[in-house]
Amino acid sequence: MKAGPQLVDRPFQVHVGNIRHGKIVHPVAECVFNGHGLTLPWLNGELKREIRPDGGNNVKTVDVFWSFRSPYSYLATKRLRAMSDKWKVRVRPRPVYPIAIRTPNFFQEIRPQWVPYLLNDVVRLSQYLGLPLGPLNPDPVVMNMMTREIAEEQPHIHRLTRLGILACEQSDETGWAFMDEVSTLIWSGGAWTEGDHLAEATARAGLDLAQLDKQQVAEIDRLTAVIEANQAEQDKYHWGVPLMVFEQEGFFGQDRIDVLEWRLEQAGVERA
C-alpha cells in the first residue's frame, strides 16, 4: 500500500470520522490540510472529499465566557474586544455568573494561599497592562471576606449579568463596549452603585441604563435561561473565566489569549 501524504501547513480541529485536531487516526483515509480545506482521498484514489474549515465563506467564531466579578475577565476585556479588529473572526461575548454564585462553597474549600496570590497577581498584571485597579466599592457579589460565605441575597450580580446579556444581544461590539465600560468602573474602584456612575458608563457604551433595567426586570426568566445556557456550554470546557472557545477547544485565562491567536493562525483565519 502506498504511504499516504503527511499533514502539512496548519492543522485545525475538525470532526470527520475519527480525525480530530488535525491528527490522522482514520483507519481508511489519508488527509492533507492545505490551509484552505481538508482533502480526504480514499485509498483507491478515485473519491476525494473536501471539508472547508470555515464552512465555506462563514466567519469563524470565538466564544468568550466572561464574568463581571472576575478580575481576570476585566483585565482581558480590552484585548478580547480588539481581537475582531486584528482577525477576521467573530468574538462573541457570553456573560455568565461568577464561580462564587455557581459554586458557593468554592472559596471556603480552596487552599489558604489562593486568595493572597490572586490579589498579588491581579495588582501585578494591572500594572503590567497599564489598567486601573482599585478596591471593589462595592463587591458585585455580597460575601463575608472573613468566613468566605456567600450571602443568599445578591442585589448586584444577577442584575449586572442580565444587563450584560441584553447589551450582547444588540451586537457583539455593543456587548463588549458595555462590559468594558462597566468592568472598568467596577474594578478601578469607582463607587459604581452611587449616583449616575453606572448610567454614565452604560451611556458610553451607547445604551440607556433606565431602559435596560426596565427590560431586564420584565424578562428575568428569559435572561436567566440565556445565562444558564451560556454556563452549560462553558462547563463543557472549564469552570473558570475568562474562557475562550474556538473550534470546540477551550483556552482558559487571560494568559491564553496569545495561544488562542496562534491557534487562529493555525486554523487559517486571516488577519483583518
Tell me the pLDDT tens digit for each residue of 127-184.
999 999 999 999 999 998 888 899 999 999 999 999 999 999 999 999 999 999 999 9
Contact 267, 10 (CB under 8 A): yes
- Is the pTM of the predicted complex or chain greater than 0.85? no
Q: What CATH class has 61-266?
A: alpha beta
263: cell is 491557534
229: cell is 445556557
Average pLDDT value for the chain: 84
Contact 197, 190 (CB under 8 A): yes
How does pLDDT run across 21-69, given as a tens digit for each residue? 333 333 333 333 333 344 333 333 333 333 334 444 589 999 999 999 9
Domain borders along the chain are 1-56, 61-266
Q: Which residue has the cell 489558604?
A: 112
Residue 179 to residue 176: CA distance in whole angstroms: 5
**How many other β-carbons are positioned within 10 Å of the β-carbon of residue 41?**
17
126 pLDDT exceeds 70?
yes
Contacts 24+ apart (CB under 8 A), 72-76: 72/122, 72/125, 72/241, 72/242, 72/253, 72/254, 73/183, 73/241, 73/242, 73/254, 74/131, 74/183, 74/184, 74/186, 74/187, 75/122, 75/125, 75/126, 75/129, 75/131, 75/254, 76/242, 76/254, 76/257
Q: H helices within the chain, ranges in order?
A: 71-86, 99-102, 106-109, 114-129, 157-170, 172-187, 197-204, 209-218, 220-234, 257-266
> What Cα–Cα distance (Å) separates residue 99 from each residue in 107, 139, 157, 190, 230?
9, 14, 11, 23, 13
How does pLDDT run across 90-105, given as a tens digit for each residue? 999 999 999 999 988 8
